[in-house]
A and B are shown apart, each in its own frame.
Chain A
Amino acid sequence: MKIKDAEIITLMQNPRTREKGVRALMDAYQSRLYWHIRRIIVDGDLAQDTLQETFIKAYQNFHQFKNDSQLYTWLYRIATNEALQQVNKLKKMQKTDEDPEYYMQNLVADNVSSDAEEIQTLLQNAIQSLPEKQKLVFMMRYYDDLPYEEISKIVDMSVGTLKTNYHYAKQKIEEYIKENYEK
């Protein structure tokens, strides 16, 4: 992965090969970034638009990328910021009397595939019930298996705080599933 990242960076830094570089960048990270965004936003169309915007911003602002951090850390940071902006827009657009947690769980119900297991759907609902920071930390650690040090760079939080947040998030999710699982 590191050699591939180095190739992508070289292609992106040269104006003549930048287009080739952005293609390589998308091939390497589109799936991971899409699912990261999708778990935050839930809505499919909005997640697609957000991923496009993430790549365009990465292309336009690649001069700001510093080699002292991992390429995927930088991309995750852009994607996370874009996704949170979209979620905030959605929350502003929703009715004032509607509970944001309830709104997100309805979105989950609308977007899960028909063959999804109940426990998996419950897990997604449980994630949407978490506070924003705990949600982000849990998703990046649980699904993407990112090291705490890298998550720290993405969300600007200390490693200790991240570990605490992940511990509480995991506890809340397990309790939520225990309470709501019918089988």
Chain B
Amino acid sequence: MKEFDIEKLERKNIYKVPDNLFENIQEKVMNDVKATKKAPIFKLNWAYAVAASLALIFGVTFVFNQSNDSAKDAGNSGAKYVADTQAPKSESEIAYETLKSDLTSVEKNNQTVVNQNSRSLVSQEIETKETATPKTVKPVSKKTETQMNEYLDSFSNSEISELASNSTQDVYLDLYN
């Protein structure tokens, strides 16, 4: 053959083809597809497995550390609370507390004395003994009394009445006065 142009040749498929070729192929593909759908295969992906393990380890460590930190924080906050309670008080607070304690002590003292007095109605001897014992009845010193008066003067009438209303009513107070 001297001249030959492949482009002029007819495009033909010359191989033998079995009957129902494409029907068989489709059937086999569909069977395979349905089988795959019914029974999915779970392949272990090592990268994901390692990532999941690391996440678990870090997660557990984080939770553990956090619980330790919270325990430490609780201890610190307790200490802080203690420190807060011991914080220096202002002058007015000190004055108020002093007045309150003084009033309470006077009230107690008076009550004791009143009690003693009530008893002295029965027996004069006992009264003299009781008033003579400085341990049970502490007489208010003049200095303290003046201090108390100063504090009382620093309060307005309304504040004093509020303090009086907060204190318990002593039925023997009038007798003492």
Contact = CB atoms under 8 A, between A and B. Distances in A.
Interface string A153-174: 0000000000000000010011
B17 A44 contact: yes
A76 interface: no
The bracket for how many chain A residues form the interface is 35 or more
Interface residue SS majority, chain A: helix
Contact of B16 (A22, A113, A124): A113
A65 interface: no
A177 B4 contact: yes
Contacts of A44: 15-18
B25 A51 contact: yes
A52 B25 contact: yes
B9 A22 contact: no
Given A56-B29, A60-B36, A178-B1, A170 B6 contact: yes
Interface string B1-35: 11011100101111111100110111011101110
20 contacts: A19-B30, A19-B33, A23-B26, A23-B30, A26-B22, A26-B26, A26-B29, A30-B26, A34-B25, A52-B25, A52-B29, A59-B29, A111-B15, A113-B16, A120-B14, A142-B6, A170-B6, A174-B6, A177-B6, A181-B4
